[in-house]
Amino acid sequence: MTIFEKIAKREIPAKIIWEDDDAIAFHDVNPQAPVHVLIVPKKVIPRLSDAKESDRAILGKLLLVARDLAKKLGVEQSGYRVVINSGPNAGESVPHLHVHLLGKRALAWPPG
């Protein structure tokens, strides 16, 4: 069981800011920006490359939740970044697909 599954089951505490039957969003414990939220599907999809056609709806939902949370957290107008790391060389640290929403500071390009 991944740390994200444990958070969704309330076995590990987290600062949850949004949840429905399909996904959960919470503040990252090691934030890389003043706003750093993780949006995680409750269904375990190890990484983007493991997603199936049947996951199309949840993948789209994750992006729409990121949009909604950007507005709620006050970064819609100033700008924000949405990131999905897929695989160890991309910085993936938990083998459970998740979306990072980062904002409230200037974000360099290209990312490191």
DSSP string, 2-38: -HHHHHHTTSS---EEEE-SSEEEEE-SS-SSSEEEE
Closest CA to 70 of 100, 101, 29: 101
The residue from 36, 96, 98, 100 that is catalytic is: 98
Q: Which residues contact 26 (CB under 8 A, 6 or more apart)?
A: 7, 14, 15, 16, 17, 37, 38, 40
- Whether residue 100 lies in the annotated active site: no
What positions carry a catalytic annotation?
Answer: 98
